[in-house]
Amino acid sequence: MMIAVAGPYSAPTAAERQKNLDAMNRTAADLMRRGHIPVIGVNAALPVVEMLDTDDPYEAMMAISLAVVGCCDAILIIGESPGVNRERELLAGRGCPVYLSLTDVPEAAGIR
Protein backbone atom coordinates (compact mmCIF):
# COMPACT_ATOMS: atom_id res chain seq x y z
CA MET A 1 0.00 0.00 0.00
CA MET A 2 0.98 3.62 -0.39
CA ILE A 3 0.71 4.96 3.17
CA ALA A 4 0.89 8.59 4.25
CA VAL A 5 2.90 9.30 7.38
CA ALA A 6 1.30 12.17 9.28
CA GLY A 7 2.77 13.92 12.25
CA PRO A 8 3.16 17.48 13.40
CA TYR A 9 5.62 19.61 11.46
CA SER A 10 5.02 23.20 12.55
CA ALA A 11 6.92 24.29 15.65
CA PRO A 12 8.38 27.48 17.09
CA THR A 13 12.00 26.74 16.10
CA ALA A 14 13.79 25.32 13.09
CA ALA A 15 15.34 22.65 15.32
CA GLU A 16 11.91 21.49 16.49
CA ARG A 17 10.57 21.45 12.93
CA GLN A 18 13.56 19.33 11.87
CA LYS A 19 12.99 16.97 14.81
CA ASN A 20 9.36 16.54 13.71
CA LEU A 21 10.38 15.92 10.10
CA ASP A 22 13.03 13.42 11.19
CA ALA A 23 10.40 11.49 13.17
CA MET A 24 8.18 11.25 10.08
CA ASN A 25 11.09 10.15 7.89
CA ARG A 26 12.20 7.47 10.40
CA THR A 27 8.66 6.13 10.47
CA ALA A 28 8.55 6.20 6.66
CA ALA A 29 11.71 4.09 6.55
CA ASP A 30 10.10 1.62 8.97
CA LEU A 31 7.01 1.44 6.73
CA MET A 32 9.18 0.70 3.72
CA ARG A 33 10.88 -2.11 5.65
CA ARG A 34 7.38 -3.51 6.25
CA GLY A 35 6.77 -3.54 2.49
CA HIS A 36 4.81 -0.36 1.89
CA ILE A 37 5.49 2.85 -0.02
CA PRO A 38 5.64 5.73 2.48
CA VAL A 39 4.53 9.23 1.56
CA ILE A 40 5.08 12.41 3.58
CA GLY A 41 3.14 15.35 2.21
CA VAL A 42 5.36 17.90 3.95
CA ASN A 43 8.42 16.47 2.18
CA ALA A 44 6.79 17.24 -1.15
CA ALA A 45 5.62 20.68 -0.05
CA LEU A 46 8.64 22.19 1.68
CA PRO A 47 10.94 22.72 -1.35
CA VAL A 48 8.12 24.35 -3.30
CA VAL A 49 6.98 26.57 -0.44
CA GLU A 50 10.56 27.74 0.12
CA MET A 51 10.61 29.04 -3.48
CA LEU A 52 7.10 30.49 -3.35
CA ASP A 53 6.39 34.11 -2.56
CA THR A 54 3.19 33.83 -0.53
CA ASP A 55 1.54 35.55 2.40
CA ASP A 56 0.38 32.17 3.76
CA PRO A 57 3.10 29.53 3.52
CA TYR A 58 1.19 27.20 5.88
CA GLU A 59 -1.83 27.01 3.58
CA ALA A 60 0.42 26.53 0.54
CA MET A 61 2.17 23.68 2.37
CA MET A 62 -1.16 22.14 3.33
CA ALA A 63 -2.53 22.39 -0.22
CA ILE A 64 0.41 20.39 -1.57
CA SER A 65 0.46 17.99 1.36
CA LEU A 66 -3.26 17.24 1.07
CA ALA A 67 -2.98 16.68 -2.68
CA VAL A 68 -0.15 14.19 -2.19
CA VAL A 69 -1.72 12.45 0.82
CA GLY A 70 -4.99 12.21 -1.08
CA CYS A 71 -3.35 9.73 -3.46
CA CYS A 72 -2.57 7.29 -0.63
CA ASP A 73 -4.32 4.06 0.33
CA ALA A 74 -4.00 4.60 4.11
CA ILE A 75 -2.52 6.93 6.70
CA LEU A 76 -0.30 6.31 9.72
CA ILE A 77 -0.66 8.96 12.43
CA ILE A 78 2.44 9.50 14.58
CA GLY A 79 1.33 12.68 16.36
CA GLU A 80 -1.45 15.22 16.48
CA SER A 81 -1.74 18.66 14.90
CA PRO A 82 -4.33 20.62 12.93
CA GLY A 83 -2.61 19.57 9.68
CA VAL A 84 -2.61 15.91 10.72
CA ASN A 85 -6.32 16.20 11.45
CA ARG A 86 -6.96 17.52 7.94
CA GLU A 87 -4.96 14.67 6.38
CA ARG A 88 -6.74 12.08 8.56
CA GLU A 89 -10.17 13.49 7.65
CA LEU A 90 -9.32 13.40 3.96
CA LEU A 91 -8.42 9.71 3.93
CA ALA A 92 -10.94 8.55 6.54
CA GLY A 93 -13.62 10.30 4.52
CA ARG A 94 -12.71 8.06 1.59
CA GLY A 95 -12.91 4.97 3.82
CA CYS A 96 -9.15 4.42 3.88
CA PRO A 97 -7.52 2.77 6.91
CA VAL A 98 -6.23 5.09 9.62
CA TYR A 99 -3.39 3.47 11.57
CA LEU A 100 -2.29 4.83 14.95
CA SER A 101 0.74 2.58 15.37
CA LEU A 102 3.29 1.03 13.04
CA THR A 103 2.45 -2.37 14.52
CA ASP A 104 -1.16 -1.94 13.32
CA VAL A 105 0.02 -1.76 9.70
CA PRO A 106 -0.06 -5.18 8.03
CA GLU A 107 3.31 -6.43 6.85
CA ALA A 108 4.05 -7.01 3.18
CA ALA A 109 7.30 -7.99 1.45
CA GLY A 110 9.62 -5.27 2.72
CA ILE A 111 12.97 -3.84 1.71
CA ARG A 112 15.70 -4.83 4.11
In tens, the pLDDT along 92-112 reads 999 999 999 999 999 887 676
pLDDT of residue 109: 73
| Conformational region of residue 72, where left means phi above 0, alpha means psi within -120 to 50, and beta covers everything else | beta
pLDDT tens-digit series, residues 13-57: 999 999 999 999 999 999 999 999 999 999 999 999 999 999 999
Which distant-in-sequence residues (6+ apart) come within 8 Å of 80 by Cβ?
8
Instruction: Judge: domain 2-103, CATH 3.60.150.10.
Output: no
Coil, helix or strand for 76? strand
d(CA 46, CA 48): 5
Q: What's the pTM?
A: 0.92
